[in-house]
Structure 1
Amino acid sequence: MAKPFDGDISRFYAERAPQEVHNAIESANKGQILNSDFPYDKRWKRADYEAAIKETLTRINSDHSPWKVVKSDDKRRARVNAIRTVLSNLDYSCKDPEALGEIDSKVAGGIVLWNG
């Protein structure tokens, strides 16, 4: 039988730079990706979409289950820092903080990183 989880739970939100969003919209318009693959729907205005994200991030953020924002402009740095965030918050027998490295606070952190 599995042991019940008794730790904090983090939620992750990948923040996309405006230029990356523009490029994705252009790709969608050229038919390179499906519209269903891209979160911006023609029925939504960008301001409405950002307001919904802001409400989600602020309304259900808590000390026990915080949102972690990861800026995904540089995919490699985003992934490395997301992994570091998860591993630094877990307790495991062979944990080596030196090998894990520091979390880049410009790439991964709390909801203050969100640009909306």
Structure 2
Amino acid sequence: MSRTADEGKTNGPKHAQKVDNKTYLKELARLHAELVKLQEWVVKSGAKVCVIFEGRDGAGKGGTIKAITERVSPRIFRVVALPAPTEREKSQMYIQRYLPHLPAAGEIILFDRSWYNRAGVERVMGFCTNDQVQEFLRVVPLVEHAVIQSGVILIKYWLEVSPEEQTRRLESRMHDERKIWKLSPMDLESYRHWYDYSRARDEMFVMTDTEFAPWHVVVSNDKKRARLNLITHLLSQIPYQAVPREKVSLPPRQKSRGYEDPDYPYKYVPEKF
């Protein structure tokens, strides 16, 4: 992963224009159809897929996950976004609380942040010691290797955003009633630590960017482009095939046999529009 002179920034492809909405919707519809094919293949084959989404606040993890799951079954594509650990969980082996959420046969698990919290927010915000961070970075490749050896397809994404774009997105949350819930006190505090996060990311990559579980970096200054590129790449990482489908047709509806709607005082929702 190359750097500019400013170590907090990530080099990536430069585009003169953002993806227009018409192109985005057309390509997303095509990719949604492929995700449905992937879903059918995972169920039929019993495959186990685990996808990790990490990145800076405001990099677009949530929107990308939403784009992936928009047209598929939440029973197959399950999103895991764990809250802060309980006192009991704090006393466990660090990665222990994540293990029950790994996929079983026929499941695709999307981690909206993951065990890599230890290498990022916990480290930068002082929620763990440096010794704990170093032990995590040493052990996690061994754990991920064991996960892969168990038959799980493990894919890791890091979404990177420029400092200017991050500022724009976080400021937009401050003035949008639909997004204000996304702006937590932790987001505001982490915003101050741009370069601490950059250094933490760099060391995390050095220690955990392995041949068997590499990090895939997505530059997400253009959200639409990033989503299309990530979904396309995700599909390329899984050897799925279209599963033959039986032709579907609606059966004939039963006869009423004298049924009539009852004279019941239904409480209809008022029609305001």
After TM superposition, the score normalised by the length of structure 2 is 0.29
Please give the TM-score of this superposition, normalised by the length of structure 1.
0.62
Correspondent of 1:35 among 148, 163, 184: 184
Mapped to 2, the partners of 1:62 and 1:92 lie a distance apart of 23
Question: Residue 20 of structure 1 aligns with which residue?
Answer: 165
Structure 2 segments unaligned to the other structure (5+ residues): 1-103, 107-148, 243-273
Identity %: 29
Deviation digits for residues 35-60 of structure 1 (CA, Å, limit 9, x no counterpart): 34737526x53221210111122211
Task: Report the count of equivalent residues.
Answer: 93
Which segments of 5 or more consecutive residues in structure 1 lack a partner in the other structure? 95-116
Which is bigger in relative contact order (C-alpha 8 A, separation at least 6)? 1
1:92 aligns with 2:240: yes
Q: Give distance in 2, aligned partners of 1:53 and 1:40.
A: 17
Question: In structure 2, how many angstroms separate the alpha carbons of the residues matched to 1:26 and 1:84?
Answer: 30
Q: Taking structure 1 as reference, are residues 31 and 40 closer, same or farther at Cα in structure 2, changes over 3 Å only?
A: farther
Is 1:2–2:105 an aligned residue pair? Answer: yes
Which is greater in Rg?
Answer: 2
Q: 1:21: Cα distance to partner?
A: 1.5
Aligned mates of 2:172, 2:186 — CA distance in 1: 11
CA separation in 2, counterparts of 1:89 and 1:39?
35
Where do 1:32-111 residues align within 5 Å? 33=180, 34-36=183-185, 38=187, 40-41=189-190, 45-94=193-242
- Distance apart, 1:25 and its partner CA: 4.4
Letter in 1 for 2:204: T
RMSD: 3.1
